[in-house]
Structure 1
Amino acid sequence: MHITDNQLAAALGAWRRPDAGLARALADAVGDATLDGRLRVGSRLPAERRAAAALGVSRGTVIAALGILRDEGRVDTRRGSASTLRLPPEATARIAPSSALGEDGAIDLRRAVPAAPHALYQRAVLRAAERSGPVLAESGETGPGLPELRSLIADRYTRERLATRPEQILITSGTRSALALLSTHLRPRAVAVEIPTYFDPLAGFRAIGTRLVGCRVTADGWDLDQLEDALRTATGGMAYLVPDFQNPTGALMPKAVRRTVARLAERHRVTVVVDETMRDLDLRDTPAPVQRIPGSILIGSAAKTIWAGLRVGWIRGPAALVGVLARHPLCEPLSAAPTQQLVAIELLRDLEPLLRDRRAVLRRQRDHLSGLLAGDDRWRFTVPPGGLALWLRLTTMRADLVTTRARAHGLELSPGPSFAADATHSHHLRLPYTPPISTLDRIATVLDLACPTIGRTSARPARR
């Protein structure tokens, strides 16, 4: 993929610095834009003369900057061809999320999960136990899932104007299991993924040796040029997308983009798998379902709406596909336990009151944390219309350094490269607003301590 003159200038922005020469400042700006995902890894830079004209510098400055970038392992240049962006070895080592355990009393925000609805869940468990006799009399293998649960989920899709029959639903032990079963069945050579995206699916795709093709997503939406390029590169393969309150950006894919995805997927014979785990966490003033991507296979779970400990998920697709998946050797091992399915039936039967409460609490917590962090030069963010987290763009430090400093104060965070298939987004942090207000106050205080105060627009009182 070629980067145009205008794209380069827009990605670098105001890159000149009074504390560095032009070549050094330009090299740093290109390196930061690559690590942050504004310039895509593997893309080719404009020719030297064109880049110089677009940036308002001499060709010699561009040549010197490229020399610095080559020495640092950030570009490859072959004689007679353009320079190609790459990541240095130290950046690629940061792909894996941190596995360090926090000390007692530490706040661990590496997983964005809501608390269990204790009383509601306990009542559901008791009701499920009371009606478990017929299930306990069977072998414990449920095939595509308990009929009642499949019907409940199918009815919910139908109420949302997506006519669905129970035979189009297959129950799994969560979205990761659903994705693993689909990946094993489809065996895609390449998978188009969003950059950034949820890190667990990335690990699953890498484990089976699948090539990952990235498409940039920000809080403002999907990069259509990269999206088309990713689907073209994944021809005959699969796309894994989170169009509803995307994890971690919180973005909501517009209807027009969804239609574009469907058209491109059909053209390139790409199977689109849509993760709807966040779909119910609509925090807009008037929540309303958005039209789904036509022809996509849907996967969902109760992990984010009810509790991550309820290991129940599902696949919604053509009945023929569900029938094939139900006969797959991995279907039973990846299925939810029948007793868990019974609990899910009890909770999903009347889910709307729980969702209303969840949305109200999350909206209040989102707004509280956003208010604590607003108006500070050390980070930028867009208040998301849904989901579970803020996606912070740090302006004074790299995310891995902030993560290390925060850990020293008892706060575990996930840095941006954990969510990027190409290890970019080194200046981003995912900051869940799932904890209660008092804990969010502490989180904001730790973040204040973990980031330098250079560049603040105004003095602010210390957070308590």
Structure 2
Amino acid sequence: MRTTDLQLASALGAWRRPGVALARALADAVGGAALDGRLRVGSPLPAERRAAAALGVSRGTLTAALDILRVEGWVDTRHGSGSTLRLPPEAAMRLAPVSAVGEDGAIDLRSAVPAAPHTAYQQALLRAAERSGPVLAESGETGPGLPALRSLIAGRYTEEGLVTRPEQILITSGARAALALLTAHLRPRAAAVEIPAYPAVLAGFRASGTRLAGFRVAADGWDLDQLHDAFRAAAGGVAYLVPDFQNPTGALMPDAARRTVARLAERYRVTVMADETMRDLDLRPAPSPLERIPRAVLVGSAAKTVWGGLRVGWIRGTAALVGELACHPLCEPLSAAPTQQLVAAELLRDPARVLDHRRTALRRQRDHLSGLLAGDSRWRFTVPPGGLALWLRLTDVRSDVVAAQSSAYGLELSPGQSFAADATCAHHLRLPYTSPITTLDRVAAVLDAACGGQGQGPRVPGPGR
């Protein structure tokens, strides 16, 4: 059934965006409506002249938008038959889970997580099933991990300039499992941690009885004086850092600071656990190679680059450390299921297609949300060079108050206090940009209303709209 011109205009709604070319904004709106189900995939679009009139644009603008949609795979045009809306293969790699889009009426951004790349994941499942025979013939206990996956991950490190052997890799059921295993093995008396930091990691340290010594991280970098004091306080223990697109600030640690961390670690006998789960989410226009903290134990994961439901993480350390971890009683309970490891091996063998799409979408969404929030005196932020979220510094109101107000409008956010080991960051708010652009418009409108509605943001729609 053909989409009428009135149905098209109704589905797109207020699609114009300040500062964005009409053709680009119209193409984005059509693609977003297809993903959201507001336009039926497979239905012919209305004739160009009628569509242009209904949308209030020139026929040239509509033609330019259709050209964009054709190039990006959203529209199939056949001579004499018009244009038909379709989903390109890449569109199956939707970036945000349903909970972060508001399809059920509320938008939940308390977790900055991407959705699964559907097509790529399903294809990996099929390939993994075809290769599962030898694994299914075994006991199901993988010890330090399937040899093929350990070799694959070791090879990636080596390609990036850090020569690594498979025996230096241990597979776990995610980054949190990796950190839990390291903490259980090392039994640190104290840990130097970033403020802010990932709340689940802080909770893990507290549960093990580890004393926390914090040091500040802002969007513009690490406080090296505080870092020195924290390492001294954690002497003989561990340090947990996210040097690449830090969660939640998005900061990227300079090379000089990484070398400072290594010197302090050696001086105070601190084992550095460097969390690299955000490392692949580099949104810089011309990325340069990223150094690593010398002698750090590295923790990686497929959660942010592929999907949180792919419970596969890993530890990269010395062969001696990995051997000790493999003998720990918690190693097997914290290991990834062999079938999950097979899927991870398929996806990580050639991650470029998934990563390229994810970076492109994240970059556009980061820039869109930043543009909506820029120039407002009620908050300050630095556009991060990578990662998944903006770290807003609210000027007057506390972030827990804003989070409560936003919840009343159907938007769930994480206030800054939950990220701080010392319960500070009371005026900070993490604002993920993992949602589609149309959803980010609503997020900005809710934030505007929750902060008093004094800015120039769009009118906030009610919950469920």
Give the TM-score, by structure 2 length: 0.76
Letter in 1 for 2:224: L
What is the CA distance between 1:286 and its match in structure 2? 1.4
User: For the residues of structure 2 that align with 1:378 and 1:462, how far apart are their CA atoms?
Assistant: 17
User: For the residues of structure 2 that align with 1:446 and 1:332, how far apart are their CA atoms?
Assistant: 45
Q: Which residue of the partner structure matches residue 119 of structure 2?
A: 119
Q: Secondary structure, in 3 states, of the residue corresponding to 2:274?
A: strand
Q: Which residue of the partner structure matches residue 366 of structure 2?
A: 366
Q: Secondary structure, in 3 states, of the residue corresponding to 1:363?
A: helix
User: For the residues of structure 1 that align with 2:124 and 2:105, how far apart are their CA atoms?
Assistant: 30
User: For the residues of structure 2 that align with 1:419 and 1:222, how far apart are their CA atoms?
Assistant: 16
Deviations 1:218-277 (A, max 9, x none): 001000110000000000000000000000000000000000000011000000000000
Q: Percent identity?
A: 77
- For structure 1, the 5+ residue unaligned runs are 1-101
Q: Which residue of the partner structure matches residue 316 of structure 2?
A: 316
Where in structure 2 are the equivalents of 1:336-351 lying within 5 Å?
Answer: 336-351=336-351
The answer on whether the counterparts of 2:446 and 2:460 sit within 8 Å (CA) in structure 1 is no
Q: Which residue of the partner structure matches residue 402 of structure 1?
A: 402
User: For the residues of structure 2 that align with 1:359 and 1:175, how far apart are their CA atoms?
Assistant: 21
Deviations 1:91-110 (A, max 9, x none): xxxxxxxxxxx995211101
Residues 287 and 433 of structure 1: is their aligned pair in 2 closer, same or farther, counting only changes over 3 Å? same
The answer on whether the counterparts of 2:245 and 2:251 sit within 8 Å (CA) in structure 1 is yes
What is the CA distance between 1:452 and its match in structure 2? 1.7
User: For the residues of structure 1 that align with 2:426 and 2:119, how far apart are their CA atoms?
Assistant: 41
User: For the residues of structure 1 that align with 2:210 and 2:457, how far apart are their CA atoms?
Assistant: 48
User: For the residues of structure 1 that align with 2:235 and 2:424, how far apart are their CA atoms?
Assistant: 24
User: For the residues of structure 1 that align with 2:439 and 2:209, how far apart are their CA atoms?
Assistant: 40
Deviations 1:39-71 (A, max 9, x none): xxxxxxxxxxxxxxxxxxxxxxxxxxxxxxxxx
Q: Secondary structure, in 3 states, of the residue corresponding to 2:382?
A: coil
Q: Which residue of the partner structure matches residue 84 of structure 1?
A: none
The answer on whether the counterparts of 1:213 and 1:230 sit within 8 Å (CA) in structure 2 is yes
Q: Secondary structure, in 3 states, of the residue corresponding to 2:308?
A: coil
The answer on whether the counterparts of 2:372 and 2:457 sit within 8 Å (CA) in structure 1 is no
The answer on whether the counterparts of 2:445 and 2:457 sit within 8 Å (CA) in structure 1 is no
Deviations 1:254-311 (A, max 9, x none): 0000000000110000000000000000000012331100010000100000000000
What is the CA distance between 1:461 and its match in structure 2? 5.7
Where in structure 2 are the equivalents of 1:227-376 lying within 5 Å?
Answer: 227-376=227-376
Give the TM-score, by structure 1 length: 0.76
Letter in 2 for 1:335: S
Deviations 1:123-145 (A, max 9, x none): 10111111111101100000000
Q: Secondary structure, in 3 states, of the residue corresponding to 2:120?
A: helix
The answer on whether the counterparts of 2:362 and 2:433 sit within 8 Å (CA) in structure 1 is yes
Letter in 2 for 1:322: V
Q: Is 1:182 aligned to 2:203, yes or no?
A: no
Q: Which residue of the partner structure matches residue 193 of structure 1?
A: 193
User: For the residues of structure 2 that align with 1:168 and 1:252, how far apart are their CA atoms?
Assistant: 26
The answer on whether the counterparts of 1:396 and 1:452 sit within 8 Å (CA) in structure 2 is no
Letter in 2 for 1:365: Q
Residues 132 and 401 of structure 1: is their aligned pair in 2 closer, same or farther, counting only changes over 3 Å? same
Q: Which residue of the partner structure matches residue 19 of structure 1?
A: none
Q: Which residue of the partner structure matches residue 387 of structure 1?
A: 387
User: For the residues of structure 1 that align with 2:248 and 2:447, how far apart are their CA atoms?
Assistant: 18
The answer on whether the counterparts of 2:192 and 2:238 sit within 8 Å (CA) in structure 1 is yes
Residues 212 and 103 of structure 1: is their aligned pair in 2 closer, same or farther, counting only changes over 3 Å? farther
What is the CA distance between 1:341 and its match in structure 2? 0.2
User: For the residues of structure 1 that align with 2:452 and 2:442, how far apart are their CA atoms?
Assistant: 17
- Total equivalences in the alignment: 360
Residues 357 and 346 of structure 1: is their aligned pair in 2 closer, same or farther, counting only changes over 3 Å? same
User: For the residues of structure 2 that align with 1:432 and 1:358, how far apart are their CA atoms?
Assistant: 14
The answer on whether the counterparts of 1:378 and 1:453 sit within 8 Å (CA) in structure 2 is no
User: For the residues of structure 2 that align with 1:115 and 1:289, how far apart are their CA atoms?
Assistant: 27
The answer on whether the counterparts of 1:103 and 1:410 sit within 8 Å (CA) in structure 2 is no
Q: Which residue of the partner structure matches residue 171 of structure 1?
A: 171
- For structure 2, the 5+ residue unaligned runs are 1-101
